[in-house]
Amino acid sequence: MRDQHYTGRQRHYMEEALFEADQAALIGEVPIGAVIVHDNQIVGRGHNLREHGNDATMHAEIRAIEEACGTLKSWRLEECQLYVTIEPCLMCSGAIINSRIPEVFYGARDPKAGAVDSLYETLTDSRLNHTVTVHEGLLAKDAGERMVRFFKAARVRQKARKKAKRAAAQAQTEKTLDNQKKA
Ligand SMILES: [Zn+2]
């Protein structure tokens, strides 16, 4: 299901997910955030923490699902909605299916890892015993801009690191030549 008409409440929850994405960006993590809503209340939230956790499974959706399961004291999130800023990957789509979340809202697509629309259509695959209603594009621009900004800054940092390394190597070479002259 593709629905471009979102309610104020739905936008509010995605703004909360964007807030989570910003928490990730603040500490240098790829800015992806998620919240899980039950009975109009946020019962789980999370942001990407892969680098700080040294853990490949620390995606925003997984962290939000873990927290929601703890809050609701159940692995079944049958009456919940998940809001996530970027299209879920294969791992997170698997977790969404296994936790029986019936409805997912996501912002921008991820052409390199998205497993909801871009590369696979896992959440709506009728061969699985659980399928999910998917809403794409909610505050997509805000979500996408955060990613673009993050990776642009990362490239600038990398360039600066390379430049510093080259300068250090150059200084070392000059020092060696200097010493050779003196000898
Ligand atoms: Zn993921």
Question: Would you place residue 121 in the very low, low, confident or very high pLDDT band (cuts 50, 70, 90)?
Answer: very high
110 CA distance to ligand 1 middle (Å): 10
Residue 3: predicted pLDDT: 47
115 CA distance to ligand 1 middle (Å): 9
For residue 168, the enclosing domain spans 8-182
The pTM (predicted TM-score) of the whole model is 0.88
Number of other residues whose CB lies within 10 A of the CB of residue 14: 26
Q: Tens of pLDDT along 1-35?
A: 444 689 999 999 999 999 999 999 999 999 999 99
Annotated binding site for Zn(2+): 59, 89, 92
Residue 1 belongs to some domain of the structure: no
CATH number of the domain residue 159 falls in: 3.40.140.10
Residue 175 belongs to some domain of the structure: yes
What whole-number distance in Å separates Cα of residue 90 and Cα of residue 115?
A: 5
88 CA distance to ligand 1 middle (Å): 5
Give the mean pLDDT of 102-114. 97
Residue 107 — φ and ψ, nearest 5°? -85, -95
Residue 99 belongs to some domain of the structure: yes
Residue 2 belongs to some domain of the structure: no
Check: CB of residue 33 under 8 Å from CB of residue 60.
yes
Q: Tens of pLDDT along 38-73?
A: 999 999 999 999 999 999 999 999 999 999 999 999
Give the mean pLDDT of 153-158. 91
If you average pLDDT over every residue of the chain, what do you get?
A: 95
Q: Is 61 noted as a catalytic residue in this protein? A: yes
Number of domains into which the chain is organized: 1
Q: Tens of pLDDT along 156-168?
A: 999 999 999 999 9
What whole-number distance in Å separates Cα of residue 90 and Cα of residue 120?
A: 8
Residue 3 belongs to some domain of the structure: no
Catalytic pick among 20, 29, 61, 67: 61
120 CA distance to ligand 1 middle (Å): 13
Residue 145 belongs to some domain of the structure: yes
Residue 170 belongs to some domain of the structure: yes
